[in-house]
Structure 1
Amino acid sequence: MANNLRDTCVRIANGLATFKHRPPSITPLSRLAGQLQQSGGALERRAAKDYDAIAGSLMQAVVAGAGLSNRQLRDAAWCLWSTTPALAQNQATSDALLRSFLLADSPRPFLTLASSFMASFSDQMPAQKPTSDTLAALAIRWGGPWGILQQKFKFFDLTQGPRLLARAVIKQDKPATDILKEAGLSAINAKSGYAKAVTVSLLDQLALGGEKDHIARLGRIRRYALTEGGKPLYEDLRPNLIEALLRPFENVTAEKPVRDAFLEVVLYLFGDPRLKPENWSFVPAVLREIVQRWLTEQSLRQFLDIVDRVADDSMWRYRRAFWEGVFNKGLIDDAWVAFGPDGKRLAKELFGKEAKFASLETEGRQIESGHAVLLLHIGDGVVADWSHNGKCNIWSDATDRSAPRLFKLSYGSDEIRIRKGSGNYETDSLLSLMHLHSPTYHWQGKVAERLRRMTGVQIKQPDYRLRK
């Protein structure tokens, strides 16, 4: 039995030795991998070499008129912009190198040049136009993913490439990486120069109305121009960001939920301009005015909406109608709110964690947790209107030493009222008025007259009459 098994194994071994069709030394899988590499399916990365030294020797070779091998051309691609010396800074050297890339008999130098170009891409890079023209020609010659991208997006064109890819990102609501993968190219480096150029173009197109739906535009900005934590992908693109966020509102009235959604992002990115004006020094005046107007309306709404919930005030709806009427007349220049504990909690729930307001602190007497005070700049004066049974306090001159200043982060009760105790108080420059006889519009008429003296604008009863 053992001899028979041994003889059989020997015969099989001898047969394999003389078999004419041996297994190929290059497997189909290896061949496929090679084809993928040749077609440019992956962006290349710089190897760990001393490219400064390589750049120096390559420059000498080019000056001497020596021909470069494909391997040298691939090294040269990484030495065009990011080495000392940068070969692209010398026009004669860069022209000679680009001619060599055009004459190369292998796609590998082109693939490396394309990867280097994307990594270093900027509008300041030397030899940018001749390099982009060379890459465009080579992409058509060698085909593959780069050829597809060149035909579909004019990918290597300095302006059209980023613009058309950014347009596709907006239209398809896909990251550029996914669009590139669909063409067969591996993920673009999010920090590459080309990726930044696409982001610039995306923001600029959104600023000019590239997405008509405001909430959809906000979503694209969040997904494609901000990090997962909500910070800018590129700090130096803050001017482009603010334009994309706000410019489409220049001649448009946005709904309250839309304004609140944009304010949350804007305030997180740039801070509240009322509290951090230095952060807004670079923002065009028209865009600052949009945010200022929204914040004024939001602060007024914070007060009215929150007090609706926390104040036990049967006459409250008359106060709401009055101040909304004053706002609609365009008399409120700035608004700020100070909340007790209940109001602070509800304000964050209703208006988002970036909503800004002040704390109302105990001073001399216990402030109820639901108390709130609305502070307004109207004309030359300041108004502090208290919730609950509090009074409406008006300083006709905002420069009066006793007048409160808006946009502090906390207020004591005594600094935002004119007098303690019950009863009214009235002088030429001061008014402390209880909210009495609201259904007959008694206090509203007296406040409206005081505001007329401060602004020159008459507010008539139909402007603030309660609509039942």
Structure 2
Amino acid sequence: MVRVLPPLDPVRRSIERVIQRWPDAVSSPQPKEREQIAQDMCRRVREWDWKDITTQRIASAAVAVFDAERCNRDDLALVRDFYLAEISACQPGPFLDAMLGVYIDSFASELVHTQRLARAIETRANDLGPRHSRLLVAVPDLLKPDLAPVRLAAIMLAADDPFQAVRELGLRSPHGAGLMQSTHIAFIAGISKKLGRAEERQRLFNWLMPKGGTVLETGAASAIEALLAIWRIESPPEALRQDLSETIVAAYNDPRLHRGGIWSGFDPELKQILLRWLTRQHMKYFCDMVTATQDSHMWGPRRDFWLQLDEDKRIDEAWVAFGASARRYAQHNFIRNDRQTRGQQFGSQQDRGGSTSLLIMRIGNKIVVDGCHSYKTHIFRQDDPMAPKLYQSQYYCDDIMRSARNSKPHNSISAWSQWVLQHV
């Protein structure tokens, strides 16, 4: 009688679900606990005391011993030697697999501990568990520190969805530390000159902002810098410029409002490119809203004047404060998708029942405030304590009007435009 094995697909799917829920056999100790764990392990090795300790505890302590803060410390050399000797002598099983995880998470190709771990694990490559064995088959140079990031980056550069491609290799934390940070650097180096093409930009966004995953933070600044660098000389078409700025701001916040995160050490010249895009975008939002809701014959020339001034790069910064009705109109008519809702922020104009919206601009050392309907244009020196500040959450148009020493109505567009040019 021949027995036929049942289909194994359900079993494989169950295993995959378990791995996804508990991807690591070894728990990573909290940073504040690591020094104590490392010192305890050092004492046990020195005294050869293995009472009341499990294999999992030993493997977990390796995370602390080989992390960036401790991997080169002389006082822990004895413990590192112990782990390397155990890799050579241990039976196949959880400890050996855990040490490959330590190699990946603590990876720094130029450091001795990475090179020693790679050599030790390579001698036991045939004894690794199924998941890690598949990873070594997919990336044969994984245990060659000088090649591993480049080989992984090559896989990412060939995949439509690099994040998912890395997960399918068996690396459960594509945005993790160590090897994946080095791979990220190699990936950005490989994709940076191709980002003028739509498919390459989408590949980058799939990596930085994976569906169902969290946005990459560490290393993201270099990726966004590479994206903006493509447009140093020539600005992208308006629709693309808006899409790029919305995508960046939705993921990493508006650099005008948030100084931290990826913006803290960002290249100032490249940040200025994004700020120019955001200025243009706010100019457009204000002009489009007034065009759609106001039928004054004087608005068309005013709109053209401001947009031309922006085109000539005379307007350094711009911020919109929508009145309540205009904000509702903008949300219903200008917001195209959820990403834009998350990425776009405006001020709110509170006076006159929210019927008036404001455009606040910095032109050189002047702050210029224009408003819809019959609201005058007001010009302040930037150092005037009464001058409204850009990027505030709330504005009061009547207070601005009363504070201004220099203002002009629009009833003669020619005289008004000359007045603006004269005073900015």
Same fold judged by TM-score > 0.5?
yes
**1:337 and 1:372 in contact (8 A); partners too:** yes
- Aligned ranges 1:57-68 → 2 under 5 Å: none
Pair 1:132 & 2:112 matched: no
Alignment of 1:111-126 (within 5 A): 111=97, 113-122=99-108
Matching of residue 166 in structure 1 with residue 148 in structure 2: no
Q: Deviations over 1:227-259 (max 9, x none)?
A: 65775345x445345435534433441222323
Shift of 1:140: 8.3
2:25 to 22, 38, 45: 45
Contact 1:165 1:198 in 2 (8 A): no
Q: Deviations over 1:43-76 (max 9, x none)?
A: 872399x998777555667xxxxxxxxxx99998
Counterparts of 1:106 and 1:276 in 2: how far apart (Å)?
50
Structure 2 partner of 1:288? 271
Alignment partner, residue 435 of structure 1:
411
User: 2: distance between equivalents of 1:295 and 1:84?
Assistant: 44
| Residue in 1 that maps onto 2:360 | 375
Using the size of structure 1 for normalisation, the TM-score is 0.65
- How much does 1:306 deviate? 1.3
Q: Which residue of 2 aligns with 1:337?
A: 320
Q: SS of the counterpart of 1:209? A: helix
Relative to structure 1, the CA distance from residue 83 to residue 94 in structure 2 (aligned partners, 3 Å threshold; closer, same or farther) is closer
Q: d(CA) in 2 for partners of 1:400 and 1:44? A: 59
> How far is the alpha carbon of 1:225 from its aligned partner?
3.2
Specify which of 340, 343, 347 is matched with residue 358 of structure 1. 347
Tell me if the contact between 2:347 and 2:393 (Cα under 8 Å) persists in the aligned partners: yes
Change (3 A) 1:78 1:229: closer
Task: Provide the aligned length of Structure 1 versus Structure 2.
Answer: 387
Report the Cα distance in structure 2 between the residues aligned to 1:356 and 1:47, rounded to whole angstroms: 40
**1:430-455 per-position Cα deviation (integer Å, ceiling 9, x unaligned):** 2412234xxxxxx23x3443344345
Output one character per residue of 1:85-122: Cα deviation in whole Å (capped at 9) or x when no partner.
Answer: 98986657756865775688979976554244224435
Gaps of 5+ in 1: 1-20, 62-71, 421-428, 437-442, 456-468
Aligned residue in 1 for 2:188: 204
Checking the alignment, whether the CA contact within 8 Å between 1:361 and 1:412 is kept in structure 2 is yes
Query: For the residues of structure 1 that align with 2:40 and 2:259, how far apart are their CA atoms?
Result: 49
Q: Is the 8 A contact 1:338 1:360 kept in 2?
A: yes
Give the match for residue 373 of structure 2.
Answer: 388
Indicate the residue corresponding to 1:426 in structure 2.
none
Kindly provide the amino acid, as one letter, of the partner of residue 167 in structure 1. A
Amino acid at match of 1:127: H
Alpha-carbon distance change, 376 to 233 in structure 1, aligned in 2, over 3 angstroms: closer
Q: Distance in 2 between matches of 1:192 and 1:281?
A: 21
3-state SS of paired residue (1:408): coil
Query: 1:302/1:93 Cα in 2 relative to 1: closer, same or farther (>3 Å)?
Result: closer
Q: Deviations over 1:213-234 (max 9, x none)?
A: 257425533x333465775345
Aligned pair partner of 2:288 in 305, 310, 315: 305
Specify whether residues 170 and 447 from structure 1 end up closer, same or farther in structure 2 by C-alpha distance, changes over 3 A only: farther
Call closer, same or farther: CA 1:435–1:281 in 2, change over 3 Å.
Answer: farther
Change (3 A) 1:156 1:303: same
Pick closer, same or farther for the CA change 1:391–1:29 going to 2, 3 Å: closer
- Normalised to the residue count of structure 2, the TM-score between the two structures is 0.70
Using a 3 Å threshold, how does the CA distance of structure 1 residues 211 and 328 change in structure 2: closer, same or farther?
closer
- Residues 177-204 of structure 1: CA distance to partner in whole angstroms, max 9, x if unpaired? 645646xxx4534575456426633663
- Matches of 1:358 and 1:166, distance apart in 2: 42
Is the alpha carbon distance of 1:56 and 1:214 closer, same or farther for their aligned partners in structure 2, counting shifts above 3 Å? farther
8 Å contact kept, 1:118–1:192: no
5+ residue gaps in structure 2?
Answer: 29-36, 49-53
Which letter does structure 1 place at the counterpart of 2:116? P
**CA 1:359–1:111: 2 relative to 1, 3 Å:** closer
Q: How far off is 1:311 after superposition?
A: 1.3
**1:232 maps to which residue?**
215
- How many Å separate the matches in 2 of 1:210 and 1:77? 42
Q: Specify the alignment match of 2:300 in structure 1.
A: 317
Contact 1:361–1:410 under 8 Å retained in 2:
yes
Question: Distance in 2 between the 1:215 and 1:157 partners?
Answer: 31
Calculate the aligned-residue CA RMSD, in Å.
4.7
CA distance in 2, matches of 1:380, 1:87: 52
- Cα distance change on mapping 1:305 and 1:55 into 2, 3 Å: same
Residue of 187, 193, 204 corresponding to 1:220: 204
Partner Cα separation in structure 1 for residue 221 and residue 184 of structure 2: 10
Determine which structure has more spread, i.e. the larger CA radius of gyration.
Answer: 1
